Structure 1
């Protein structure tokens, strides 16, 4: 014998109902003994409830009832079914006159959904030539008097089922109503929502069925709710224990009691899709194929009861009093978490029972309140429970840390005795993001890193294209999906939660203007629950730096090629670091000094390991490196070399921004602050290479008269010793164990044979002197300028953050 169950969405008018009839017809040819359990069709149960409420409130319910009748009788009409609606009409009239209804009446009304469904399926099968027997499950399943969520009386039910199937001549196909039962008096009861699954399990147990197939509107059980997690995957197989945990913690495909009748006789249950009958679905049996985490389930209709009492320390029986008070008021606790001192206890109950629970506890602990042993019993609303089924406690730190990185701190934590299932309580507005963060972490599937890029200039545009070009290879090699969801210039922001495309430039041009690109980006990330956020600053804007702290507070890690945040006041520098620490976020800016060279990381590593760095000096600017390398090694006038550098794009459009030394000074200050020095920009001695008379004139005038600089630089060149060359350097020295160091930016003459003197092209070079290495410096040298190099360095910082988020 095989038991098959069809859910309400499967039985709705249209393709669903047609597929169900086809599946039953096909099964009839394959199986000698077929029991088919059906739910109410479509949205019938909800419609019946709504009409009940209308009748109770003395509202006109006739149109709603007529609409329900039309929908129900659309596939098949008969006088027998017409009479069913006459009985329904009588019940609704009674409720209308009384202005109220009991749970007993509600069960009788709701039962009509399953009765109509089973009768119609039986009639439609007959039209197809399939002989089927209609069976009212009220004749089979006996319960207590708990209307609305009745408890089965096992002995009586077993006897009824076996007797009925033995004594009645039944067709090969038996159509049984799900969800409904009766008490010992013969009054209609119901088994609770999704109770049709339970009906199927009970029949399978007492009839010793070979297998149960439950047809729904989905492909099976997934690693998470696909509506919450787009990357959720179908689970091929589960054990009974795993499925039972899922049912208890919110998997709405399963009834919490469905698994228990099947476990006793090891009857497999397969979850299938009515609309994809060829799919194998999810198989639930005694043992699963593999160990490990199976799924993430969610409970949303819950509230957290907080019970606090410092005076309860050491007192015995507090838990017993809590549970007795709740049990006396028919309140079930799904999760409890407490400290060993019993000072604080968290209880998760259904939302509809929360107020009742608080009143019951306040009554029980009235004297304890008076003695001030208990100081608070309160409700935390708008919460949800996330359960990780199969989660080993010793590995839980990974998803927990991922949650914290995304600024989600669980309100309550609980694990089973076996340590195989972990449950968390979070605020409901964090649920969507939390489930995605956990799912990405525990299943080792592709991790999505959501990136907002501010600034689309030469570096920013190059970076965007580099990411888009490498997205697929990074996805394949590292299982990381780099998703650029925002691109902004100073006036517009392009937003797409699925990620921008290679047409991003034209898409951005066609985007509407906005007054606040950052505010709009933050609102978008929050609206779509985006996780693992990174903000990239490729602007050169002083004002944009003011957005760093709001971005961090909103859950973004930071990457920046903009040097300003690290070179404004030391007060802001420390404030930003404090904000990063409090929010557990990171800020990477390797390209601030040396483009893509591993300089800042090296200095951080040396400093954090306790190494005493005594001096740092080097050629910090790729632009000025090219300029003086070429000028020192040739007889070409300075103005010609400078024009070449301008033409090659090595300098800013107005080269005075390079020649004034401020850029080198900012880079030097950044390195000083990496050593915890408290220097300000004003502390730096800067040799401005622009003669005084050329500093205030217009850029156009300056660029048209570059040859006027030749005498100044020719004198500097000729005044050197033999075998020396000019280099523009940054120099950090002094007692670097003190709060401040000595910082200087200057043009110097060095030997051609020295590391600084042998520099070529536009390379940058840095010499790091330490106590351990003595006079032999650590030398880091490489390309120090160019949009490609800088963008690649920013890209590297993004990948490091993405890896850290793993």
Structure 2
């Protein structure tokens, strides 16, 4: 293995000036030349950029959103830099580039492409601000555009990495820089062979860190979160959560598959294949141990609860008086694959197929259009999916109590229930 280490910091760790100062303290205490620092967009910037996109698509005014976006970043910079700092023209220039992107025509057909050209500015802004701040504090670091390193296909919003080209880019561009200084790099984004920006999936900066670590054959990856490590449930939703000191790659991969938000689902595979340990630690309490994810024989029997909001239940009923067969399933899965829709639950009966998917703009409409000639289709939106891994009867009873259940499924190790959220 090389002597390179990869740190990834999420949006909460750079949400304001005090957070950035705290992040810099973490780095000051862990100075290494061969350190790659992957940064997410600040706070809720990605949500704001998505709102700008929707307003543009709906032909609504989004100028106030742009003003909010610019003011948010400029105000943070005012707390971190003196008024003559070069960061102010850098931020203004990036906002101008964003505005030029938004002058182009946005349609339902090019929405995913347009999304990637616009949303990437969140990570470009945050990484530039952090790099300038570290240098202003005497921590000399270099900025690297991730789009010059992470090569992808043109599967916009869910781009697939071209591993060989990315390895070559790392060797030729990153390694020489890392031998001199730490490198700051925006997460979540890549670039096609034709020069278009791409994104690796929502919250994909974790995956960016894993890609770079794998290509650099790094010692480890550390993801810095606002939680003390990997917990058996979201502490914002459940009390008395349990932190895992260590987890096997397979266990962690399963939790991310079911929707655990602490790690992006694609993160584990490249690290497991390369035997690179993943640490999840708290940027609020950086001296604590956190969770280590690696190859381990230690079994975990602790129940884990994962919650996914904004779920859609879609039911396909066979219309020609035949029973559900492999051809029906294949037709539905082909449509799901073409639309880049991941199935969270799949269930069949004699005459119908039901599945649960994440809500994505326009995707449900396109799915129905694609399959309405073959099936009678019904759907329910705004649902919540609860998954219990290593379930126990008492926990299941407690979870479903008082809920309007739409669908449930149980296996030896996993229980899933889809329900209408209880209104507060």
User: TM-score scaled to structure 2, two decimals?
Assistant: 0.86
CA drift of 1:165 comes to: 3.0
CA drift of 1:214 comes to: 0.6
CA drift of 1:303 comes to: 1.0
Paired residue secondary structure (1:354): helix
- Aligned residue among 145, 158, 168 for 1:136: 145
Quote the residue 1:351 is aligned against.
359
Contact kept? 1:304, 1:347, Cα under 8 Å: yes
- Aligned residue among 17, 20, 27 for 1:17: 20
Quote the residue 1:454 is aligned against.
none
1:313 matches 2:294: no
Larger radius of gyration: 1
Distance 1:125 1:80, change over 3 A: closer
Contact kept? 1:16, 1:275, Cα under 8 Å: no
CA drift of 1:79 comes to: 3.4
Contact kept? 1:303, 1:379, Cα under 8 Å: yes
Paired residue secondary structure (1:335): strand
What are the Cα deviations for residues 210-232 of structure 1, in whole angstroms up to 9, with x where unaligned? 11111112222222112221222
CA drift of 1:199 comes to: 0.7
- Aligned residue among 412, 416, 425 for 2:418: 425
Q: How many angstroms apart in 1 are the aligned matches of 2:101 and 2:211?
A: 34
CA drift of 1:102 comes to: 5.1
Q: How many angstroms apart in 2 are the aligned matches of 1:334 and 1:174?
A: 37
What are the Cα deviations for residues 690-722 of structure 1, in whole angstroms up to 9, with x where unaligned? xxxxxxxxxxxxxxxxxxxxxxxxxxxxxxxxx
User: TM-score scaled to structure 1, two decimals?
Assistant: 0.47
CA drift of 1:135 comes to: 1.3
Contact kept? 1:237, 1:288, Cα under 8 Å: no
What are the Cα deviations for residues 573-631 of structure 1, in whole angstroms up to 9, with x where unaligned? xxxxxxxxxxxxxxxxxxxxxxxxxxxxxxxxxxxxxxxxxxxxxxxxxxxxxxxxxxx
Paired residue secondary structure (2:372): helix
CA drift of 1:14 comes to: 3.3
Contact kept? 1:114, 1:178, Cα under 8 Å: yes
1:286 matches 2:276: no
Higher relative contact order at CA 8 Å, sep ≥6: structure 1 or structure 2?
Answer: 2
CA drift of 1:164 comes to: 1.9
What are the Cα deviations for residues 319-378 of structure 1, in whole angstroms up to 9, with x where unaligned? 222222333444332211224xx333221112333343333332234xxxxxxxxxx431
Contact kept? 1:239, 1:288, Cα under 8 Å: yes
Q: How many angstroms apart in 1 are the aligned matches of 2:406 and 2:62?
A: 43
- Aligned residue among 154, 157, 165 for 1:156: 165
Contact kept? 1:179, 1:195, Cα under 8 Å: yes
CA drift of 1:43 comes to: 2.8
What are the Cα deviations for residues 479-534 of structure 1, in whole angstroms up to 9, with x where unaligned? xxxxxxxxxxxxxxxxxxxxxxxxxxxxxxxxxxxxxxxxxxxxxxx85xxxxxxx
Quote the residue 2:274 is aligned against.
265
1:89 matches 2:93: no
Paired residue secondary structure (1:27): coil
Distance 1:326 1:312, change over 3 A: farther
1:387 matches 2:396: no
Q: How many angstroms apart in 2 are the aligned matches of 1:71 and 1:48?
A: 18
1:34 matches 2:29: no
Q: How does 1:629-644 map to 2 (within 5 A)?
A: none
CA drift of 1:263 comes to: 0.9
Q: How many angstroms apart in 1 are the aligned matches of 2:178 and 2:279?
A: 28
What are the Cα deviations for residues 619-649 of structure 1, in whole angstroms up to 9, with x where unaligned? xxxxxxxxxxxxxxxxxxxxxxxxxxxxxxx
Quote the residue 1:67 is aligned against.
71
Q: How many angstroms apart in 1 are the aligned matches of 2:399 and 2:301?
A: 20
Distance 1:81 1:45, change over 3 A: farther
Distance 1:167 1:25, change over 3 A: closer
Paired residue secondary structure (2:335): helix
1:414 matches 2:418: no
1:111 matches 2:111: no
CA drift of 1:202 comes to: 0.7
Paired residue secondary structure (1:4): strand
Contact kept? 1:72, 1:116, Cα under 8 Å: no
Q: How many angstroms apart in 1 are the aligned matches of 2:104 and 2:324?
A: 57
Provide structure 1 residue ranges, at least 5 long, that are not aligned to the other structure: 366-375, 430-525, 528-806
Q: How does 1:357-376 map to 2 (within 5 A)?
A: 357-365=367-375, 376=376
Contact kept? 1:242, 1:389, Cα under 8 Å: no
1:322 matches 2:332: yes
CA drift of 1:239 comes to: 1.7
Quote the residue 1:299 is aligned against.
308
Quote the residue 1:126 is aligned against.
135
Q: How many angstroms apart in 2 are the aligned matches of 1:89 and 1:314?
A: 54
What are the Cα deviations for residues 57-96 of structure 1, in whole angstroms up to 9, with x where unaligned? 2454364354134234222363354144235225425635
CA drift of 1:308 comes to: 3.5
- Aligned residue among 164, 180, 184 for 1:175: 184
